[in-house]
Structure 1
Amino acid sequence: MGGISYRAQRWLVLVGFLAVPLTLLVMLTYYPAVKLLMQSFTDWDGISSESNWIGWENYKEIFTNSDLFGVFLHQIPYVFVGIVQNVIAILFAIILNSRLKGRNFFRVMLFLPFIMNAVAVAFMFQYVLDTTNGSLNGLLGAVGLESLQQSWLGNESIVNYSLASIGFWRFMGYNMVIYLAALQSIPGDMYEAARIDGANRLQTIWHLTLPNLTKIIQLNMFLTISGALAVFDLPFVLTKGGPAGASETFLLKTITTAFQFNNFGLASAMSIVLLVLTVLILAIQNVVINRRGDN
C-alpha cells in the first residue's frame, strides 16, 4: 500500500473489518425495527402487498381493549416468582461460597436444569403437574396432604404460579452461578475487617455482601423482569393460554393476533408497546437498585 499513509491504512482496515458486521446489524436489526414501527400504524394483514395507514388506532385498541392489555395481569406471578427466585439464588450463592463439603457437586446440580432444553422441561413438568397421574399430586397423597392436591394447570387462580414455578426451577441455578462469581470477586479482607469490627453474619450480608452485589442484582433483575414480560414457551407448550385464557401472556397474544387472526398491524403495535413497557419498568428498577447501592 505504497503511497497510502499509515492513518489511511488504519481507517481502511477498520472499515474493512466493520463493514460486514455493521451491514448485518442494519439489515437484521435496525431495518426490521423501523419496519415494525411503521407497520404498527397500518392495518396490514400479512398477506396483501398494500396496507392502509390508520395512525394511532392500533395503540388505542391495545389500551382500551382489556382482552389485549389486560393479559399483562397474567404475568404478575412471573415477576413475583422471579423476585423470590433471585432472593433464593443469593442465599444459595452465599451458602455455596463457604467452605461447605461437596459444594462443587451442589453447584453443578443446581445449575443443571438451566442447560436443559426449554421445550423438554415443559413436557417433563406436564407429567409432574398432571391432575390424575402427576407426580406432584401423587407425592402429596403419599404424605397425607390430599387436601393440597390441585389441577395445577387447570385452575385459573394458580395456573400462572404453576408455570412460573417451572421457570423458578430452571433459572434459579443460573442466577446462583452469576451471584457466586460476584461473591468470589469480593476481597476477603473486607470480611475480616467486618468481623474485627464486631459485625455478625447477618450484618455482614446486609452491609457488605449485598451492596457489592448491586450491579449483579441489577443485571439479574433485568433478565428476570424482561423474561417475565416476554414469557411464551411455557404457556404455549403446556396450556395454549388456557384455561379460558387465564395463562395467556402478552407475547402469546401478540403471536396469536398476527398468525391466527392475520392482523400484523395490531401485532406490530403490541410488540412496540411491550418494548416500551419493558424499558420503563427496567428504568424504574435501575433507579431503585442504584439508590440502594448508593446508600
Structure 2
Amino acid sequence: MEGNRSRRKFSFSSLPYKKQKIVISLVFLFVPMLLLLTFTYLPATTMFKYALTDWDGISKTYNYVGLKNFNTIFADPKKYFEPMRVSIYYFIASFVQIALAVILAYLISFKTKFSNIFKGVYFFPSLINSVAISFIFIFFFQPNGTFDSILKLLGLEGAIRFWLRDPKIINISLASVSVWRYVGQNIVMFSAAMQSISPDILEAAEVDGANEFQKLIHIIIPGISKIMGLLLFLSISGSLQAFETPYIMTGGGNGSMTYVIQVVNIAFQNHRVGLASALALILLFICIILALIRKLIFGRKEA
C-alpha cells in the first residue's frame, strides 16, 4: 500500500492554492515574456553589439572598433543631433494633442448624448495604417488639394501655402497629422479615466457654485493625473521617434528630417549599420532617462 501511494501520479489540484497561482501565472506569462525577449531585448542586445563594430549591413564579417562610433557622433554633435530640432514641433504638438483630448473627453463624457458614437468616430483614425494616413494627407496638403479648396471656400486664399514644400511650415503640417491621428485614442483613455470620478463630487461642486472650467481644473484634471502623466510621457517619447508619417510624406526632405529617418538613412543608404546602431542606442538612453524623470515626478505626487 505504501509503495502504491508513493507511485501516485502528480496532480495539479493537489498543490497548495498559492503554488497553483504561481504555476498559472508562469504559464500565462511564458508567451508574452518569450515575445518580449525575442522582439525587444534580443534586438537591443544585438544593436549594442553592432554599435561597437564597423558593420556595413551587407558583409558577413565586421571589425570591432570599440567606442569609435560614439566618438564620431559626439565629435560632430551638430551634424548628428540637428534632426532633434524637428522633434520640437512634435513635442509641442503632443501638448496640443493632450489638451484637445482632455477637453473633448470632458465634453463627451459629461455633456453629450450618444457619447459612445463620438468616441468611436474620434478613435477610428488611430486604427488606420500609418501608410494609408500618410497617402491621404499627401493628397490633402498638395497644391490645389483638399485643404486649399477648403481655404478657398472660406475666402482665405491668402493663407494658402506649399504645405509640404515650405521648410517654415512643413513640420507644422506633419505634426498636425500626428495630432489628428492620435487625439482620438487619448480621448477614449481620458474618458475612461473620467468615469472613475464620482458624480457626487461634481454635483457637490455645482451646488457650491463651481462652473464648468473650475470643475475641469480642480476636479477632473487632478482625478486623471496618472493617466495624463502616462500619455504625456508616451507622446513626448513618440515625438523623438517620429518616423512613418514624415518618411512617407516627404522622405525627410525640405527640413523635415527626423532623428529616426536619419538613423535609417545612415544604416541602409550609407551602409553604416554600426554608426546607426550607436545613434539608436543614444535615443534609447534618452527615452530611458525620460521614463525615469516621469517616474520620479509622478512617483512623488503619488507618495
The alignment's TM-score, normalised by the length of structure 1, stands at: 0.88
Q: How does 1:213-224 map to 2 (within 5 A)?
A: 213-224=224-235
Distance 1:28 1:119, change over 3 A: closer
Give the superposition deviation at 1:251: 0.8
Unaligned 5+ residue runs, structure 1?
none
Map of 1:118 onto structure 2:
130
Matches within 5 A, 1:112-261: 112-131=124-143, 133-243=144-254, 246-261=255-270
SS at match of 2:110: coil
- The residue type paired with residue 226 of structure 1 is S
Match of 2:284 in 1: 275
Partner of 1:108: 120
- 1:196: how far off? 3.6
**Contact between 2:233 and 2:290, CA under 8 Å: does it hold in 1?**
no
Q: Distance in 2 between matches of 1:195 and 1:106?
A: 25
71-80 vs 189-198, greater mean Cα deviation = 189-198
> 2:94: which partner in 1?
82
The question of whether the paired residues in 2 share the 8 Å contact of 1:255 and 1:267 is answered with: yes
Which residue is 2:104 aligned to?
Answer: 92
What displacement does 1:186 show?
0.9
Alpha-carbon spacing, 1:17–1:228, altered in 2? closer, same or farther (3 Å): closer
Tell me the CA shift for residue 89 of structure 1: 0.5
What is the alpha-carbon distance in structure 2 between the residues aligned to residue 158 and residue 283 of structure 1? 33
Distance 1:108 1:212 in 2: 23
Q: Quick one: distance in 1 between partners of 2:194 and 2:172? A: 30
Aligned to 2:81: 69
**Residue 2 in structure 1 maps to residue 11 in structure 2:** no
Alignment partners' CA distance in 2, 1:194 and 1:201:
10
Residue 49 of structure 2 corresponds to residue 38 of structure 1? yes
Alpha-carbon deviation of 1:23? 4.7
- State the distance in 2 between where 1:199 and 1:14 align: 47
The separation in 1 between residues aligned to 2:247 and 2:15, in whole angstroms, is 55
Equivalent residue for 1:60? 71
Distance in 1 separating the partners of 2:36 and 2:113: 48
- The structure number with the bigger radius of gyration is 2
TM-aligned CA deviation for residue 49 of structure 1: 2.6
Change (3 A) 1:104 1:7: closer
Rounded to whole Å, the distance in 2 between the matches of 1:110 and 1:174 is 7
Q: CA separation in 1, counterparts of 2:24 and 2:115?
A: 48
RMSD: 2.6
- Please give the per-residue CA displacement for 1:173-201, whole angstroms capped at 9, x wherever unaligned: 11001000111111112222333444333
Aligned-residue offset at 1:140: 1.6
Q: Secondary structure at the match of 1:97?
A: helix
Once residues 75 and 164 of structure 1 are traced to their aligned partners in structure 2, the CA distance between those partners, rounded to angstroms, is 9
> CA–CA distance in 2 between the matches of 1:42 and 1:142?
57
